[in-house]
Chains A and B, each alone.
Chain A
């Protein structure tokens, strides 16, 4: 996606990313149990719009969404894993092209992988890929107001807080205000 490509038409190819410790990979059928467990975790339920209740059917539907995203070339959803967790599912992170030369990130970490810098490393990998390989001019992060753990991760990677979008996010029938932060090329830490 260099400057000659119309951002509206920009698409990416399937890819895996790694920094030697944290690996961003495609899902596999063996992730299903971990995915179900992670999406039933109270923090995930509190801050994301995962369906509730969450069971194997919801997990399988999510794998189809992941596949459709890669096929579209517009929404990249990676599963996060690490060597120390034996390549087990440790969370998911996505990058969505906005069609105007920018992207939006979102992520969720499994309870067994929190507070170890796994998510920050995953976010750095995705943003590096977005700027260097996809040529994005800006990456945006949104989270429900009050989601401090997500905000700490974003700020560690260099995102800068920009404002609150009122009633931006619909979560299981309830609207929440959203924090917005932006990361520009050269600001990634």
Chain B
């Protein structure tokens, strides 16, 4: 099979043209960025020769088409977009792209993705185009959701970016005949930072990996709030990525950080979020270096207030093992009334089922006195 011809496309102030040998320098500039190196197939491009190889390989592929995305006025290369793994029998393909670091947040990715996928649907007759991205790359998630690529689910352990951990990926897809605008249906929760007195709640960040690992391997945390998948810094980063990924709308996980030092002191989450029933469960962890300061109570209270106000939830629940009385005090202090005892209701870190207390706090309950 011979390479596919790549036509020039006019795309809302951008020009998509066939990638050629003369783009090697432009492509190197595109690749030379930590974000691009983390998430895209350009990560191996480190020299003009690498760039030329990458271009030759892409141009020669019979199952792919790659465009250089240029500014109309200057003609300089600001991004690349491609359809890969084109299967005309099955009428499916995958789309990928990168935007030069100094040209981000201008809608370039969205315009390029719209133009290339429109070509795929109308000229190649595709029925389905897939857009996949690592869950630690929320910028790509925004692009996908803004261009009509509906979130279909999370594929586990898809790809190793080089650190020895296979990362989970979102699978998004757009079908022929579907609108190219924003996707209805899914209710992703937008990232937000929530003030909590001297602390700040914020979406987890990869640089917290060392502290997260230390917290999760602490004996108390490992028993009463286990995350057994975390065994080293790489798996801790993957765990932070999952916490940062609020797309499904079923959880919002935040790190608790000290406003002054910026150090992570623990984490707090809403999970099992049910928007229809207006319910969620809450959980928290406190790092060994931050105990006895009221971190858990402060973080729970701030996040509960946010959940009532911003998500419109009516009831929040906390379950904890009765054998872990510290959590009972935290729940009561944060305004979660003790409602009953569930027998053998959860398997904890040691693999045993424990009886739990369940506590509930309603939107209509009085706020706790802190």
- A102–B345 touching, CB < 8 Å: yes
Question: Does A160 make an interface contact (CB < 8 A)?
Answer: yes
A68 CB to closest chain B CB, in angstroms?
15
Within 8 Å by CB of A138, from B279, B317, B353, B360, lies B353
Main SS class of interface, B: strand
Q: When chains A and B are docked, how far (Å) is the Cα of A101 from the Cα of B345?
A: 9
Contact flag A101-B347 (CB < 8 Å), given A165-B358, A165-B360, A167-B314:
yes
Q: Which of B118-126, B230-238, B257-265, B334-342 contacts A (4 or more CB under 8 A)?
A: B334-342
Check B346 for interface membership: any CB of A closer than 8 A.
yes
Decide if the interface of chain A is mainly helix, strand, loop or mixed.
strand
Question: How far is B115's CA from A137's CA once the two chains are assembled, in angstroms?
Answer: 52
Distance of A165 Cα from B355 Cα, bound (Å): 16
Q: Does A36 contact B (CB under 8 A)?
A: no
A164 at the interface (CB under 8 A from B): yes
Q: Are A166 and B315 in contact (CB under 8 A)?
A: yes
Q: For A101, what are the chain B residues with a Cβ–Cβ distance below 8 Å? A: 347
Q: How far is the CA of A182 from the CA of B343 in the complex (A)?
A: 7
> Is A180 at the interface (CB under 8 A from chain B)?
yes
Q: Tell me which residues from 313 to 340 in chain B have a Cβ below 8 Å from any Cβ of chain A.
A: 314-315, 317, 337, 339-340
Q: Is A2 an interface residue (CB 8 A)?
A: no
Across-interface contacts of A164 in B (CB, < 8 A): 339-340
Bound complex: CA A169 to CA B277 (Å)? 7
B344 at the A interface (CB under 8 A): yes
Interface residues of A in 64-112 (CB under 8 A from B): 100-102
A–B pairs, 19, beta carbons within 8 Å: A100-B346, A101-B347, A102-B345, A138-B342, A160-B343, A162-B341, A163-B340, A164-B339, A166-B315, A166-B360, A166-B362, A167-B362, A167-B364, A168-B360, A180-B340, A180-B342, A180-B358, A182-B344, A184-B343
